[in-house]
C-alpha cells in the first residue's frame, strides 16, 4: 500500500490503546486537566454573566410591570388620580412588583433566554402572570379594609394589570428575539465582518465560457456554481457523483437563474472515471475547470486511507490529464492549509495532488492550486456539528482547549478562488484568512448565540486530538513564504511557484 501512496506517504491506521488513555500525556486528559484548573474560570464567568443578565431582565420586567400598573389606574379611573393618592399607589406597586417577579421566578421564566423566546414558552409566562393575579386577588379578598390599600390593589386594577403586564412581558422578549435574529450573522461568531472583494477580474475572465465545477453539490462547490453563474458564464457543467446533492444544486439553479442565464448541465459522474470524463470533455469542451471534489473530513480519510488517496490524488491526476488532453485553458485545484507540512492522510493526499498538477505546467493548460483553511458552515467544518449538538442540547465536543483554526465564510473563500482562477500564474496560491479562531471560543460563542449558557445549560467537553490533527494549522503569508499579488488577500507560495 505504501507504494500506491507514493514516496514519503506512509499510511498507518492508529488504534487507541486503553492503557495509554489513562496517561496524562494523552491529549484528552490534557484538555480535561486544563478544564479542571485554568479553565474553571470560564464556568465562573458563565454563571456571573447569567446572573447579571437575569438581574437586568428583572429590572426590565419591573419597569414593564410599573408601566402596566400605572396604565391600569389611568384606564380604570379615566386618567384621574386615585382617591388615596399616587404615593400610596407607588407604595402598593412595591408589593405588586415583588409578587409578579416572585411568580415569574417560581415558574422558571428566568431560566429562559430572551433570544430563544418562542410560542412554546407562552404558557409559562401566562401561567406566571395568572399566578400573580390570583395571589393579589387573594390578598385583596383577605385584606378588604382600606387601611391595607398600600399593599394590595383593587380587583379591577389587578385584572387590567394582568392583561397589560402579560402583553408587555411577552412583547419585550419577542422584540429582543427579533432584534437579535436580525443582527446575528456567521461573521459575528468569527469576531470580524465578512469581507467584500472586487470580483470584476473574475467576471471578465469567466464571462461567456464553459466552466466545469466538480463536487458541485457540496457546500463549496455549490457556492462556486452560484458565483460562476453570476459572473456571466455561458455554460456550467456541474459534476457530482452524489445523486441527492446534484439534484439539489440543479433544482436551486433552475429556480434562481434568469431565462437568459447560463446553461446548467447536471452530470452525475465520478471524476476519477477516465473513460467517462474523457467522453464528457469531448462533448462539452470546458475551457475552465474548478476542481472542488474531494474528501475533506480528516478522521474519515485517516480511517480510510486508500479511498482518500484514490479520490483526492488519483482522481485529481486523472482529471488533470484529461483537461490537458482536451486543451482546457485553466485548471484550478481547491486545496487546503492541511497540505502545509501535512501530518494527516488527507493533508498528504492534497499535497500530492498539488505536486501532480504543478508538474504538468509544461502543457498548454495552466494549472494552479488555491489553499485556504476551514470554510465556516461547510460540511467539513466543526460548525454544523456544533449546531446539531446545541439544537439537541448535547454536550459540545471540542478536541483540545488550545485548538485553533483559520476560518472564512463560504462567500469569501469562493470569491478569492475565482479571483485566483482569473490570474495567469501557474502557481500555488495561499489566501490570507486573517487571525486563527480558537475553537473553544467559537463553541462558547455559538452556545451563547443560540440563547444558552455555556457550561451551564450546555456543557463543553474535551475529547482529545484525533489522529491526523494538529493544534494549529499553518498558513504563512509572510515575505519569507509568499509573494504578494496585486489582489488583496491572495499570495503566491514561493515553494509552489510553477514554470
CB 469 within 8 A of CB 344: yes
Q: Which residues are paired to 374 by β-bridges? A: 407
Q: Is 384 left (phi over 0), alpha (psi -120 to 50) or beta?
A: alpha
Tracing cell 476551514 back to the chain, one arrives at: 374
Cell 412588583 maps to which residue?
97
Query: 307 phi and psi, to 5 degrees?
Result: -70, -40
What is d(CA 29, CA 233) in angstroms, rounded to the nearest whole number? 53
Q: Do residues 408 and 372 touch, judged by C-beta distance below 8 A? A: yes
Q: Are 356 and 5 in contact (CB under 8 A)?
A: no
Angle at 315 between CA 314 and CA 321, to 5 degrees: 90
Q: What are the grid coordinates assigned to 446, written together?
A: 455559538
Long-range contacts of 92-97 (CB under 8 A, 24+ apart): 92/149, 92/150, 92/151, 92/152, 92/153, 93/65, 93/66, 93/69, 95/139, 95/151, 95/152, 96/65, 96/69, 96/136, 96/153, 96/161, 97/62, 97/65, 97/66, 97/69
Q: Which residues pair with 210 in a beta bridge?
A: 235
For residue 338, indicate whether it is catalytic: yes
Q: How far, in Å, are 30, 81, 206, 223, 265 from residue 249 at the CA level?
A: 43, 67, 20, 9, 11
Q: Give the relative orientation of helices 315-325 and 274-284 as an angle to the nearest 10 degrees.
A: 30
Q: In sequence order, what are the residues at sequence separation of 6 or more whose Cβ sits closer than 8 angstroms to the Cβ of residue 54?
A: 110
Catalytic-role residue among 338, 348, 404, 470: 338
Longest dimension (CA), the chain: 101
Q: To the nearest 10°, the Cα dihedral for 138, 141, 145, 150?
A: 30
Cell reading at 2 = 505504501
CA dihedral 373, 375, 377, 380 (to 10 degrees): -60
C-alpha of 342 from chain center? 25
Which residues are designated catalytic? 338
Amino acid at each position: 500500500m505504501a507504494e500506491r501512496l507514493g514516496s514519503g506517504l506512509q499510511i498507518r491506521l492508529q488504534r487507541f490503546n486503553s492503557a495509554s488513555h489513562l496517561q496524562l500525556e494523552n491529549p484528552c486528559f490534557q484538555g480535561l486537566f486544563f478544564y479542571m484548573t485554568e479553565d474553571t474560570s470560564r464556568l465562573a464567568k458563565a454563571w456571573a454573566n447569567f446572573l447579571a443578565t437575569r438581574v437586568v431582565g428583572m429590572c426590565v420586567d419591573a419597569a414593564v410591570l410599573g408601566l402596566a400598573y400605572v396604565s391600569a389606574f389611568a384606564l380604570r379611573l379615566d386618567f384621574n388620580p386615585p382617591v388615596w393618592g399616587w404615593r400610596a399607589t407607588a407604595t402598593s406597586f412595591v408589593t405588586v412588583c415583588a409578587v409578579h417577579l416572585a411568580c415569574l421566578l417560581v415558574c422558571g421564566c428566568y431560566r429562559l433566554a430572551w433570544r430563544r423566546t418562542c410560542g412554546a414558552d407562552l404558557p409559562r409566562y401566562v401561567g406566571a402572570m395568572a399566578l400573580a393575579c390570583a395571589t393579589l386577588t387573594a390578598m385583596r379578598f383577605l385584606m378588604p379594609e382600606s387601611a391595607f390599600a398600600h399593599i394590595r390593589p383593587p380587583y379591577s386594577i389587578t385584572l387590567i394589570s394582568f392583561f397589560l403586564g402579560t402583553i408587555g412581558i411577552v412583547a419585550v422578549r419577542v422584540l429582543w428575539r427579533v432584534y437579535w435574529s436580525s443582527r446575528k450573522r456567521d461573521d459575528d461568531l468569527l469576531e470580524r465582518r465578512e469581507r467584500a472583494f472586487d470580483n470584476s477580474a473574475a467576471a471578465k475572465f469567466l464571462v461567456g465560457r464553459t466552466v466545469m465545477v466538480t463536487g458541485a453539490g457540496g457546500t463549496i462547490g455549490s457556492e462556486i456554481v452560484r458565483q460562476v453563474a453570476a459572473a456571466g458564464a455561458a455554460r456550467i457543467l456541474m459534476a457530482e457523483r452524489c445523486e441527492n446533492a446534484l439534484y439539489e444544486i440543479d433544482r436551486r439553479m433552475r429556480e434562481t437563474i434568469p431565462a437568459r442565464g447560463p446553461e446548467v448541465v447536471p452530470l452525475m459522474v465520478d471524476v476519477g472515471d477516465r473513460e467517462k470524463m474523457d467522453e464528457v470533455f469531448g462533448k462539452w469542451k470546458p475551457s475552465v475547470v474548478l476542481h472542488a471534489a474531494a474528501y475533506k473530513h480528516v478522521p474519515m480519510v485517516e480511517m480510510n486511507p486508500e479511498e482518500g488517496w484514490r479520490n483526492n490524488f488519483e482522481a485529481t491526476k486523472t482529471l488533470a490529464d484529461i483537461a490537458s488532453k482536451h486543451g482546457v485553458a485553466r485548471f484550478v485545484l481547491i486545496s487546503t492549509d492541511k497540505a502545509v507540512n501535512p501530518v494527516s492522510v488527507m493533508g498528504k493526499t492534497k499535497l500530492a495532488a498539488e505536486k501532480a498538477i504543478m508538474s504538468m505546467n509544461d502543457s498548454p493548460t495552466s494549472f494552479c492550486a488555491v489553499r485556504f483553511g476551514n470554510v465556516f458552515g461547510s460540511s467539513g467544518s466543526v460548525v454544523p456539528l456544533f449546531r446539531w449538538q446545541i439544537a439537541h442540547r448535547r454536550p459540545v465536543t471540542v478536541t483540545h482547549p488550545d485548538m485553533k483554526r483559520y476560518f472564512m465564510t463560504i462567500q469569501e473563500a469562493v470569491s478569492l478562488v475565482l479571483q485566483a482562477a482569473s490570474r495567469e500564474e501557474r502557481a500555488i496560491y495561499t489566501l490570507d484568512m486573517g487571525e486563527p479562531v480558537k475553537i473553544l471560543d467559537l463553541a462558547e460563542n455559538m452556545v451563547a448565540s443560540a440563547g444558552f449558557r455555556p457550561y451551564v445549560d450546555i456543557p463543553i467537553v474535551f475529547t482529545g486530538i484525533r489522529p491526523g490533527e494538529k493544534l494549529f494549522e499553518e498558513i504563512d503569508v509572510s515575505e519569507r513564504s509568499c509573494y504578494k499579488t496585486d489582489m488583496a488577500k491572495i499570495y503566491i507560495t514561493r515553494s509552489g511557484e510553477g514554470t
